[in-house]
Amino acid sequence: MEDIEFGQLIYLLLLLCAVGSWVFLQNRQSLNKTVQQLAVWGFIFLGVIAGYGLWGDIRQTLKPQQSVMAEAGRVVVPRAPDGRYYLSLMVNGAAVDFLVDTGASQVVLTANDARRAGIDPEKLAYLGRANTANGEVRTASVRVDELALGEIRDTNLRVWVNEGEMEKSLLGMTYLQRWSHIEIRNGALVLSR
């Protein structure tokens, strides 16, 4: 433990002892009832800690999922809690999570997503430049054999691999323009072919 964490732990233990002593002294006539109340508060405290520790798993479970309706050539993408839209596509057979970004002109893969799709970022020629919110980054142009969203498949699509750090791959306008109709309805992004 670091010194700061150790100091905070000592402070919390002293605070707990002080509050616990006050509660005990105030209720010493009904000791049985006091122990029951302390047990209830202890369980509440453990529940809050468990909820906090498991929040990431709970949020993933509650996160809205995309629905693909291949017969109608339609995709409905619910808005995520952060207000953005995310799509999961197969790039050369590998699952890649994309941020739908109408401000991006190209499909841009992170280096990790490119590796999973069978592209070696170390062997690419980063000749392109892209201006991002974090400044200029170098990019490399490659072609992917297939980009699939459910049963909807696009082949021989040009994508870019970003040499810089990115949290998520971007699904830009070169892919979105392949759809005949894009709209936001009832908080969901609807793509139609």
Q: Name the residue ranges covered by the structural domains of the chain.
A: 3-60, 65-192
**Selection from 104, 93, 94, 106 nearest residue 160 by Cα:** 106
- pLDDT tens for the chain, residues 1 to 193: 455 677 777 888 888 888 877 777 777 667 677 777 778 888 888 788 777 777 666 655 555 566 656 557 788 888 888 888 999 999 999 999 999 988 888 999 999 999 999 999 999 888 888 877 677 888 899 999 999 988 889 999 999 998 888 889 999 999 999 999 999 988 888 888 8
Query: Domain 65-192 adopts which CATH fold?
Result: Cathepsin D, subunit A; domain 1 (2.40.70)
Characterize 133-167 residue by residue with b for buried, 16 or more Cβ atoms within 10 angstroms of its Cβ, and e for exposed: eeeebebbebebeebebeebeeeebebbbbbeebe
Token pair in block for residue 153: 């498949």
